[in-house]
Amino acid sequence: MSKRRDRELEACSLAHYEDPAYYTANYADRIDDAAFYVTLARASGGPVLEYGVGNGRIALPIARHGIVVVGVDHSAPMVADLRARLAREPAEVRARVRVVRGDMRRVRLRRRFPLVVATFNTVLHLYTRDDVERFLARVRGHLAPRGRFVVDLSVPVLEYLSRGPSRPYHAPRFRHPTASVVVKNTERFDYDPVRQIMFVSMEFEPMGDPAGKWVTPFAHRQFFPQEWEALLHYNGFEVERVDGDYSGGPLKADSDVMVWHARARRP
Ligand SMILES: C[S@@+](CC[C@H](N)C(=O)[O-])C[C@H]1O[C@@H](n2cnc3c(N)ncnc32)[C@H](O)[C@@H]1O
């Protein structure tokens, strides 16, 4: 892949996370996954390694339930926001969270964990096979013997993949928490079927101020279920279970999420 394409993808894995206040407001109603990961973390006894920890939407509830979490993320604004949020937590919660700014394909922590998680589509920022393999090697390197790797990712939806970039999709207007103005919110989708990457342009236009419009680029790799299973298999994992929601329901034709539970395969 050319350097230009590399840089474009790097930007698409960072831009959406430049504004933690918007991120927090946008995903405020996602609570099922946090409850699921808290239950999993408590059952493991910890410590937990969370890849793509962001500003702690999952890690903070885990720490509040008494479990130690190490969170890795490459976004400086998200990591700074997590540190600011931690500063407002009681000392014992603060002491349970370690934040490491770095790339999940590279970071080496020199310790092993009974539970390693990559939550809420973090792995969809692994755009190539090389990215995935480097990441899974790091996961294996951080798993304790019989430790578990749990990851949730969206199931590609054929109807969404066929949306062309010329058609705008309008979301309801809202007051942007950082810009403090009401904005029109439009998304355009452009799926690259060769690289299996969905490029999204998120457009925000302040009401009555078209010149103030800004666009956030975003990209998610699309992994089909059998493909993700094969990637786990050929990178040394055995799948224990795959669910189609956060309460243990089966993966079905209309599931929008897949939740994979895997262990490193014994040699
Ligand atoms: C959808 S957010 C998930 C954040 C948090 N876990 C949550 O559920 O709200 C994905 C996170 O992955 C991080 N990320 C993306 N690519 C990464 C990489 N190569 N290395 C480390 N973090 C990465 C982003 O910065 C972002 O914070």
pLDDT at position 153 over 60? yes
Measured over the CA atoms of residue 164, residue 165, residue 166 and residue 168, the dihedral's sign is positive
Helix (H) or strand (E) holding 168: none
Report the DSSP pairing between strands 214-221 and 182-192: unpaired
Which is nearest to 86 in space by CA: 95, 75, 77, 73? Answer: 95
Is the CB–ligand 1 distance for residue 24 below 6 Å?
Answer: no
Measured CA distances, 23 to 19, 20, 34 (Å): 6, 5, 15
Contacts of 42 (CB under 8 A, 6+ apart): 65, 66, 67
Tell the residue number behind the tokens 């990559």, with chain if given: 118
Q: What percentage of the chain reaches a pLDDT higher than 90?
A: 90
pLDDT at 3: 65
Q: Is 125 in the pocket of ligand 1 (CB under 6 A)?
A: yes
pLDDT band at 267 (very low <50, low <70, confident <90, very high): confident
Q: What is the pLDDT of residue 45?
A: 98
Q: What is the mean pLDDT of residues 205-223?
A: 93
On the 0-12 / 13-18 / 19+ scale of CB atoms within 10 A, 226 is: exposed
Atom of ligand 1 nearest to the CA of 17: 25
- Ligand 1 centre distance from Cα of residue 122 (Å): 5
What mean pLDDT comes out for the span 212-221?
94
**Which residue owns the Cα nearest ligand 1 atom 27?**
54
Give the C-alpha separation, 210 to 184, whole Å.
10
Query: What are the angstrom distances between the C-alpha of 196 and each of 129, 192, 220, 261?
Result: 11, 6, 9, 23
What tokens does 99 get?
């934040």
Residue 264 structure tokens:
């490193």
Mean pLDDT across the chain: 95
- Give pLDDT, residue 193: 96
Ligand 1: nearest atom to the Cα of 78:
27
Q: What is the pLDDT of residue 2?
A: 59
Ligand 1 within 6 A of CB of 17: yes
Reported pTM: 0.96
Question: Edge-to-edge strand order for the sheet containing 143-154?
Answer: 97-101, 69-73, 48-51, 113-118, 143-154, 257-264, 237-243
Residues of the chain with pLDDT > 70, as a percent, come to 99
- Ligand 1 pocket, 71 CB below 6 A? no
CB count in 10 Å sphere of residue 230? 12
Q: What are phi and psi of 39, to 5 degrees?
A: -60, -45
Query: Given a cut of 50, is residue 1 above it in pLDDT?
Result: no
Query: Is pLDDT at 89 greater than 90 in this prediction?
Result: yes
Q: Residue 250 carries which DSSP code?
A: B
Topology classification of domain 31-154+223-264? Rossmann fold (3.40.50)
Pocket flag, ligand 1, residue 53 (CB < 6 Å): yes
Q: Which amino acid is at 214?
A: W
pLDDT per residue over 53-85, tens digit each?
999 999 999 999 999 999 999 999 999 999 999
What does the pLDDT look like over 130-150, one tens digit per residue? 999 999 999 999 999 999 999
Interval 1-18 mean pLDDT: 81
pLDDT at 88 over 60: yes
Overall size of the chain counted in residues: 267
Identify the weakest region by mean pLDDT among 9-18, 96-105, 126-135: 9-18
In short, whether 58's Cβ falls inside 6 Å of ligand 1 is yes
CA–CA dist 35, 41 (Å, integer): 10
Q: Is 166 helix (H, G, I), strand (E, B) or coil?
A: coil
Looking at the DSSP bridge assignments, the partners of residue 221 are: 197
**Residue boundaries of the structural domains of the chain:** 31-154+223-264, 158-221
Probe residue for ligand 1, chosen from 125, 133, 216, 221 as the CB with the greatest number of ligand atoms within 8 Å: 125
- The two tokens of residue 213 are 């419009």
pLDDT classification of 213: cutoffs 50, 70, 90: very high
Whether residue 28 is predicted with pLDDT greater than 90 in this model: the reply is yes
Tens digits of per-residue pLDDT, 38-52?
999 999 999 999 999
- For ligand 1, whether the C-beta of 54 sits within 6 Å is yes
